[in-house]
């Protein structure tokens, strides 16, 4: 990759990631505000867990994942990989939960509208994409 592209991504990436994160939560807030019925707390959980997962995998430095990583304090590489695995499991479970709530909302008339379920999926996808964008673009300097 061109050095200018990498530099531009390091400059613009975190701001763009924040905008995508905000857009994800904007979809959710729009759906809750426009809903004709009260949205239960259960519908909030996929977005909350997606945000938590994005925070979890942004706690890991990119340099710590390499196979040539050596620490005199013991084998910490497997802990880092386990942490990332748990973060990705949380992210995929939050996305699956959002899809499940969409199906539930589409099949029943008692809950929120289908738009609330679609917005929950958009929220999870945008939040997780923004977390990955930030992780790839921020520098440790």
pLDDT range class, residue 49, cuts 50, 70, 90? very high
In this structure, is residue 6 part of a structural domain? no
Alpha carbons 53 and 93: distance in angstroms, whole number: 10
HSE-up (13 A, CA, CB side) for residue 101: 28
Greatest extent of the chain over all pairs of C-alpha atoms, in Å: 60
Residue 74: which domain range?
Answer: 13-137
In this structure, is residue 8 part of a structural domain? no
pLDDT range class, residue 60, cuts 50, 70, 90? confident
In this structure, is residue 79 part of a structural domain? yes
In this structure, is residue 32 part of a structural domain? yes
In this structure, is residue 3 part of a structural domain? no
Per-residue pLDDT at 71: 56
In this structure, is residue 5 part of a structural domain? no
In this structure, is residue 4 part of a structural domain? no
pTM recorded for the entire structure:
0.85
- Summarised one tens digit per residue, pLDDT across range 77-98 is 778 888 889 999 999 999 999 9
* Total count of domains within the chain: 1
In this structure, is residue 18 part of a structural domain? yes
């Amino acid at each position: 990759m061109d050095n200018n592209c990498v530099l531009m991504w390091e400059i613009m990436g975190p701001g763009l990631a924040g905008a995508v994160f905000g857009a994800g939560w904007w979809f959710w807030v729009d759906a809750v505000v426009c809903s004709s019925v009260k949205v239960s707390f259960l519908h909030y959980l996929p977005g909350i867990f997606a945000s938590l997962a994005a925070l979890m995998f942004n706690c890991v430095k990119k340099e710590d994942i390499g196979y040539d990583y050596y620490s005199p304090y013991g084998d910490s590489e497997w802990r880092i990989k386990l942490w990332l695995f748990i973060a990705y499991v949380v992210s995929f479970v939050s996305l699956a939960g959002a899809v499940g709530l969409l199906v539930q909302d589409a099949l029943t008339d008692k809950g929120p509208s289908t738009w609330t379920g679609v917005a929950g999926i958009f929220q999870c996808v945008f939040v997780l994409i923004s977390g990955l964008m930030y992780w790839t673009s921020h520098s440790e300097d």
